[in-house]
């Protein structure tokens, strides 16, 4: 081994990092095809509650597709076929009794490119609660404040809640999107490369936020950035060409990967 390892042991970590936790999401033999092109080939994994789980892998490996399965965002894509089961909190998300609105209330999502609506900051955060029927002004006010606070944005925007969300900086917009997702009080937060368009300072803020949020939410994050996975996640899954090559505690994946391909990828030999 001549390649440089990503240093993970020197960082400050909570004692229970990795460790045992109760399962939140169980994926069983999940296969997905776009037309006749397989994108995910029989993936099984258990994502623990109140932990940050990262999916890593080269472009086109299926990590974003896998993430989008968890809140059924692939439903709208033409020609998608999905097999296998996904249980979130013990309930099958493809069950006929499971309403997709209810699923997405429980499983929030933050996208790669921040996508605030061209509305005020307030209306962005209140969008989800309003869908769920919340009309009372005082309830909404409280929800907006709580969510912006949880996304570490409240102090920066408290005096300009009714200005357009598009007037915020890139990092602020992404935190606004996190606040918007948190406003419906989800159990799971999916993040699709949430920092790929952000500078290092904004990225650090989001990573800090993930660490804080995991006490209340189960976080699943897709990332291109292996340092980020090493820094910010408790568990890591490595995907390659639609297969889950390896899944385990982040520390293990980055220091003693079991699979040769994982090692090659994290040491930067390909990808």
Partner 1 sequence: MSWNQTRRKAVSGLVVGFCAASVVLALIPLGFILTYVIRNGLPALSLGFFTQMPKPVGEPGGGMANAIAGTLILVGLAALVAVPIGIISGIYVSEYRRTRLASAVRFSADILNGVPSIVIGLFAYTAAVLPFRRFSALAGGLALGIMMIPIIVRTTEELLNLVPGALRDGALALGASRARAVFTVILPAALPGILTGVLVALARIAGETAPLLFTAFNNRFWSTRLDQPIASLTVQVYTYAISPYDDWHRQAWAGATVLIGAILLFSLLARATTRRLERMHRT
Which of residues 181 and 240 has its CB atom nearest to partner 1 in the complex?
181
Minimum CB separation of residue 245 from partner 1 in Å reads: 28
Which of residues 184 and 229 has its CB atom nearest to partner 1 in the complex?
184
Minimum CB separation of residue 68 from partner 1 in Å reads: 9
Half-sphere exposure of 137 (CA within 13 A, CB side): 0
Whether the Cβ atoms of residue 222 and residue 64 lie closer than 8 Å to each other: yes
Binding site for partner 1 (CB under 8 A): 71, 73, 76, 78, 100-102, 104-105, 108-109, 111, 113, 115-119, 127-128, 131-132, 163-164, 166-167, 177, 180-181, 184
Minimum CB separation of residue 115 from partner 1 in Å reads: 4
Return the structure tokens found at 172: 């602020």
Return the structure tokens found at 130: 């309003």
Which of residues 118 and 200 has its CB atom nearest to partner 1 in the complex?
118
Which of residues 117 and 154 has its CB atom nearest to partner 1 in the complex?
117
Which of residues 173 and 262 has its CB atom nearest to partner 1 in the complex?
173
Minimum CB separation of residue 81 from partner 1 in Å reads: 18
Which of residues 103 and 226 has its CB atom nearest to partner 1 in the complex?
103
């Amino acid at each position: 081994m001549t390649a440089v390892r990503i240093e993970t042991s020197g960082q400050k970590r909570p004692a229970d990092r990795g460790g045992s936790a109760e399962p939140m999401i169980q994926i069983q033999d999940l296969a997905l095809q776009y037309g006749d092109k397989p994108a995910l080939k029989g993936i099984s994994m258990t994502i623990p509650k109140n932990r940050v789980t990262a999916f890593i892998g080269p472009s086109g490996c299926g990590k974003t597709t896998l993430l989008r399965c968890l809140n059924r965002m692939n439903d709208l894509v033409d020609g998608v076929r999905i097999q296998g089961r996904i249980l979130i909190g013990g309930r099958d998300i493809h069950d006929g009794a499971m309403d997709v609105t209810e699923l997405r209330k429980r499983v929030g999502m933050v996208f790669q490119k921040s996508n605030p609506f061209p509305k005020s900051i307030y209306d962005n955060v209140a969008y989800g609660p309003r869908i769920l029927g919340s009309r009372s002004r005082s309830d909404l006010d409280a929800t907006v404040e709580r969510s912006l606070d949880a996304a570490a944005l409240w102090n920066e925007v408290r005096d300009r809640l009714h200005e357009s969300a598009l007037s915020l900086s890139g990092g602020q917009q992404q935190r606004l999107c996190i606040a918007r997702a948190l406003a419906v009080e989800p159990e799971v937060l999916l993040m699709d490369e949430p920092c790929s368009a952000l500078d290092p300072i904004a990225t650090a803020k989001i990573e800090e936020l993930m660490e804080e949020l995991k006490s209340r939410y189960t976080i699943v994050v897709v990332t291109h950035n292996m340092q980020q996975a090493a820094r910010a996640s408790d568990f890591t899954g490595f995907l390659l060409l639609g297969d889950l090559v390896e899944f385990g505690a982040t520390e293990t994946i980055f220091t003693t990967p079991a699979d040769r391909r994982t090692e090659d990828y994290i040491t930067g030999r390909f990808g």
